[in-house]
Amino acid sequence: MPETRNRLPQLGSLRAFEAAARHGSLVAAAAELHVTHGAVSKQIRNLEAELGEPLFERRNRGLFLTERGRWLAERLSTTFAQLEDALADFARREADPPLVVSCEPTLCLRLLIPSLPALRAEAGLDIRVLAAGGRIDLRRDRVDLAIRRDDFPIPSHLAVRPLADEAMGPVCAPALAGTAGLPILHTRSRPDAWPAWRRRGLPAFLGSRDVQFEHFALMLEAAIAGQGIALASLHMVADDLKAGRLTALHPFQPDGSRYVALTDKPISAEGRERRFAEWIGGRMARTLADPPGGFIPAR
């Protein structure tokens, strides 16, 4: 059989009693509840009859809580405050659903998801994250904002807000720093990363062999595990460098691309999309300004 609850007194009677106890006055309670003085008095008498004991002592035209009445009033005040908070939170959630953000998978794992608590606390944003890369149809996918690297033609109907320059650099596990002939780690999601690095005349880091990974995130995990040297995005490994899980073998370099926020229409001055773009762009800018492992700005 389903669990049954003891019958509760009428909510109106409880509200009338709590307000009268808080104000110490039937008149003030009636004003707060937008009813008559007589209605409040009747509700309290009904509650006392249902509970089988008086909650107030009425003497010298004054209203004084009994000891048990004071105990009940304190708990009702707390309960009603919690109920009001719950209803206000419910209304906010209905009126302001989570901001749906599509983000490139590795950036999502290494930057966006760890930032969600701070985004909620500092920018007041609840985020629903979708991990995806490349071209996107925001309306079809019901996405409010997409974070992408601008390494593909962006449709002209999308609004573009720059977030931060990309910066790449070779990293490996600290225990392997200075070891010659380490394997060179590659990812099929950025096949031109090492060739572009070498074309700019930067250290070649010739290794004993090349190791391919399907995804950028897998390559970074292999580097952390001590399996070779990876060419990594500063934005994706900043926390690993700070924590000592990786070490930089050369200062990070801009690669000519940048991260952008894409929206269906220009970001408004007061919108949630603007608060998100400013917060995440600010974090990425601070990483570039004071990077663990060093950074050579574009000239």
Q: Are residues 156 and 285 in the same domain?
A: yes
On whether residue 5 sits in a domain, the answer given is: no
pLDDT at site 288: 93
Alpha-helix residue ranges (DSSP H) falling in 57-207: 67-95, 105-107, 113-123, 193-199
Q: Give the strand pairing for 127-131 and 99-103.
A: parallel
- Same domain for 79 and 117, yes or no, is no
Is residue 4 a part of any domain in this protein? no
112 falls within a domain: yes
With respect to residue 6, please indicate whether it lies within any of the assigned structural domains: no
204, 129: one domain? yes
Looking at residue 295, what DSSP letter applies?
A: B
177 and 279 share a domain?
yes
Q: Are residues 86 and 106 part of one domain?
A: no
Q: Are residues 169 and 215 in the same domain?
A: yes
Residue 296, in any domain of the structure: no
Q: Are residues 200 and 272 in the same domain?
A: yes
Residue 106 lies in a domain: yes
128 with 232, same domain? yes
Establish if 297 belongs to a structural domain: no
Q: Tell me the C-alpha to C-alpha distance, in Å, between residue 287 and each of 160, 223, 231, 262, 293.
A: 21, 21, 17, 21, 11
129 in the same domain as 54: no
In this structure, the answer to whether residues 76 and 133 fall within a common structural domain is no
| Residues 237, 131 share a domain | yes
Range of the domain at 285: 99-289
pLDDT for 298: 47
* pLDDT values of the chain reduced to their tens digit, one per residue, 299 residues: 455 556 788 889 999 999 999 998 888 988 989 999 899 999 999 999 999 999 999 877 778 999 999 999 999 999 998 998 888 777 766 566 899 999 999 999 999 999 999 999 998 889 999 999 888 889 888 999 999 999 888 988 999 999 999 999 999 999 999 898 999 999 999 999 999 999 999 988 888 899 999 999 999 999 999 999 999 999 999 999 999 999 999 999 999 999 999 998 888 766 899 999 999 999 999 999 988 866 555 43
Among candidate residues 28, 59, 92, the one where a domain is terminated:
92
d(CA 180, CA 36): 88
| 69 and 116 together in one domain | no
Smallest CA-to-CA distance from 21 within 59, 60, 61, 77 is with 77
Domain count, the chain: 2
pLDDT of residue 1: 43
Specify the pLDDT at position 92.
Answer: 62
Out of 92, 127, 148, a domain closes at 92
What's the Cα-to-Cα distance from 180 to each of 122, 177, 208, 228, 247, rounded to whole Å? 45, 9, 9, 10, 15
Q: Is residue 299 part of a domain?
A: no
What CATH number is associated with residue 158? 3.40.190.290
For the entire predicted model, the pTM comes to 0.67
Domain final residue pick, 38, 64, 92: 92
Q: What is the dihedral of CA 225, 118, 91, 84, to 10 degrees?
A: 110
Give the CATH number, domain containing residue 36: 1.10.10.10
